[in-house]
Structure 1
Amino acid sequence: MREDEILLLETSFAEVYAARDAAAPLFYERLFVHDPSLRRLFGDTDMAAQGQKLFSALRLVVASLRNLPAVVPVLEDLAVRHVSYGVRDAHYETVGAALIETLSLYFGPRFTAEMRAAWTSAYATVAQVMIAAAHRVSAPEAGLDADAHLRPAPAAVL
C-alpha cells in the first residue's frame, strides 16, 4: 500500500474513531440491513461492547498498515474465533459492504473515490487473511479448500 493511501486511512480512521459511539451502531444497522440473518450470530450480545471491539480491531489494523505481518496472527486468531460463532466466507463480503457504506454515510461527500479505494483495499486484505485462517481450521470438518491462503492476493490489496 502506498504511503498516501496509508495516510488517508490513518486520518480518516482517526476522525471516525472519535465518533465510534455513533459510527458502530450505524455499522451494525447497515450490516443487518444487508443480511438480517446475521443478527442471530450476535444473540444477546451487548452491541455497544461489540462496537467497541469492532473499533479496537480496526484501530489495530490501521496502526499496523506499515507492518502488516505483525497483525496477521491477531487476525488469524480472530478468524478462528469467528468460525465458532458461525461466520462463513460470504459474511466477509457483507461486512465489507456495511463498512464501506458506514464510512460513506459518515463522511458524506468527503468520502472520495480515493478514500473508498483505500478502505476497500485494506478491508480486502483483512478479509483475505481471516478467510484463509478460517479455511485452515475448518477444512478437515467442512471439506473446505485448506490451501486457499496460498493463492496470490488480488492486485488491488495492500
Structure 2
Amino acid sequence: MHESEIQLVQASFAKVAPIADQAAGIFYDRLFEIAPHVKPYFKGDMKVQGAKLMTTLGVVVKGLRDLDKIVPVAQQLAIGHVAYGVTPEDYAPVGEALIYALKTGLGDDFTPDTANAWIRAYETLSSAMIEAAYSKAAE
C-alpha cells in the first residue's frame, strides 16, 4: 500500500473509533442482510463480537506500515475461521459490509479516495487470508 492510502485508512478509522459500537452494529446488520448464510457462524453475544471486530480492525489499521507483522496474524485468524464454516466466498460480502459501515458511519468524510484506500487494504489482507486458510485446508 502507498503511504497516502495508509494515511487515509488510519485517519478515517480514527474518526470511526468513537462510534465503534454503532459501526460494528451497522457492519453486522449489513453483512446479515447481504449474506444471511453467514449468521450461523456467530454464536455469541454480538456486542462482544462487534468489540472484537473493532479491536482487530484497530490493530490491523495501526499496523498497515508493517504488513510483514500484520499479515501472518491475519492469516492465523483466517485459518481459525475455517472451523466455523467460513468459505473463500464469504470474504466478498464481509468487505462489502465493511465499506458500507465505514461509509454510513463517516458520511461525507468517506471520500472516494478513502473508499479506494480501504478497498485496497481489505483486498491485500483478505487475499493473503484466503490463500493461507484454504491452501492449509486443502492439505
TM-score, length of structure 2 as denominator length: 0.96
Corresponding residue for residue 41 of structure 2: 41
Q: What is the DSSP-based 3-state SS (H/G/I as helix, E as strand, rest coil) of the residue aligned with 2:9? A: helix
Report the RMSD for the aligned CA atoms in angstroms. 1.0
Query: How many residues end up aligned between the 2 structures?
Result: 139
Corresponding residue for residue 69 of structure 2: 70
How many angstroms does 1:121 deviate by? 0.3
Corresponding residue for residue 117 of structure 1: 116
Question: Is the CA contact 2:79–2:136 (under 8 Å) kept in the aligned structure 1?
Answer: yes
Matches of 1:139 and 1:86, distance apart in 2: 14
Moved runs in structure 1, 4+ residues, more than 3 A? none
How many angstroms does 1:51 deviate by? 0.6
- 1:73-92 alignment to 2 at 5 Å? 73-92=72-91
Corresponding residue for residue 6 of structure 2: 6
Matches of 1:2 and 1:35, distance apart in 2: 31
Give the letter for the 1:90 counterpart. Answer: E
Matches of 2:52 and 2:125, distance apart in 1: 16
**Which runs of 5 or more residues in structure 1 are unaligned?**
141-158
**Higher-RCO chain (CA-CA 8 Å, sequence separation at least 6):** 2
Corresponding residue for residue 56 of structure 1: 55
Matches of 1:62 and 1:109, distance apart in 2: 21
Corresponding residue for residue 23 of structure 1: 23
Higher helix share: 2
Question: Is the CA contact 2:32–2:38 (under 8 Å) kept in the aligned structure 1?
Answer: yes
Matches of 1:137 and 1:112, distance apart in 2: 37
% same residue = 44
Question: Is the CA contact 2:26–2:101 (under 8 Å) kept in the aligned structure 1?
Answer: yes
Corresponding residue for residue 155 of structure 1: none
- 1:133-152 alignment to 2 at 5 Å? 133-140=132-139
How many angstroms does 1:110 deviate by? 2.1
Give the letter for the 2:99 counterpart. Answer: I
Q: What is the DSSP-based 3-state SS (H/G/I as helix, E as strand, rest coil) of the residue aligned with 2:16? A: helix
Question: Is the CA contact 2:79–2:133 (under 8 Å) kept in the aligned structure 1?
Answer: yes
How many angstroms does 1:129 deviate by? 1.1
**Which runs of 5 or more residues in structure 2 are unaligned?**
none
